[in-house]
């Protein structure tokens, strides 16, 4: 008579989720930094104050990243489609890169999650 095969399985689901979360956080930060760099190539420049005010942030609790420009006039400059700017600089300096770079940013995040799960 043959013996039944036995297997022992150890479930490390909590560790896997923690690693995936850490990778997602790294990916979100890299994605936000990528977006900031892209938007800085389009942000209108008069004195450079608006460009220098650009910053990234990551909300670790909700897994959300952000890019902000923190001047009293940032929203007005972003939305004013009638304003004239230097060549290559324009309104929608954040919105357009968000739309254009959505896929590469998603790929950055996915790569960091995959990397964290291989460790």
What gap in Å lies between CA 75 and CA 57, rounded to an integer? Answer: 18
What gap in Å lies between CA 103 and CA 69, rounded to an integer? Answer: 22
What gap in Å lies between CA 70 and CA 103, rounded to an integer? Answer: 26
Kindly indicate the confidence band of residue 91, based on its pLDDT and cuts at 50, 70 and 90.
very high
Mean pLDDT throughout 15-37? 97
Instruction: Report helix, strand or coil for 32.
Output: helix
Instruction: Report helix, strand or coil for 52.
Output: helix
For 109, how many CA atoms within 13 A lie in the half-sphere containing its CB?
18
What gap in Å lies between CA 118 and CA 16, rounded to an integer? Answer: 10
Residue 18 within any structural domain of the chain: no
Counting the structural domains of the chain, the total is 1
Residue 98 within any structural domain of the chain: yes
Instruction: Express each pLDDT in 45-90 by its tens digit.
Output: 989 999 999 999 999 999 999 999 999 999 999 999 999 999 999 9
Residue 39 has pLDDT above 90, yes or no: yes
What gap in Å lies between CA 52 and CA 95, rounded to an integer? Answer: 18
Indicate the pTM of the whole model: 0.87
Give the CA radius of gyration of the chain.
21
Residue 112 within any structural domain of the chain: yes
Residue 16 within any structural domain of the chain: no
* Per-residue pLDDT, 1: 60
| Structural domain that includes position 113 | 32-118
Backbone CA torsion sign across 81, 94, 61, 16: positive
Residue 12 within any structural domain of the chain: no
Residue 89 within any structural domain of the chain: yes
């Amino acid at each position: 008579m043959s013996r039944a095969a036995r297997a022992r399985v150890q479930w490390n689901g909590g560790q896997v989720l923690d690693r995936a979360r850490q990778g997602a956080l790294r990916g979100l930060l890299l994605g936000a930094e990528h977006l900031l760099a892209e938007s800085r190539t389009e942000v209108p420049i008069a004195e450079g104050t608006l460009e220098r005010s650009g910053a990234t942030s990551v909300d670790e609790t909700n897994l959300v990243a952000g890019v902000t420009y923190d001047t009293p006039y940032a929203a007005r400059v972003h939305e004013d489609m009638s304003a004239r700017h230097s060549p290559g600089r324009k309104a929608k300096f954040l919105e357009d890169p968000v739309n254009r770079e959505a896929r590469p940013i998603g790929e950055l995040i996915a790569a960091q999650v995959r990397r964290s799960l291989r460790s």
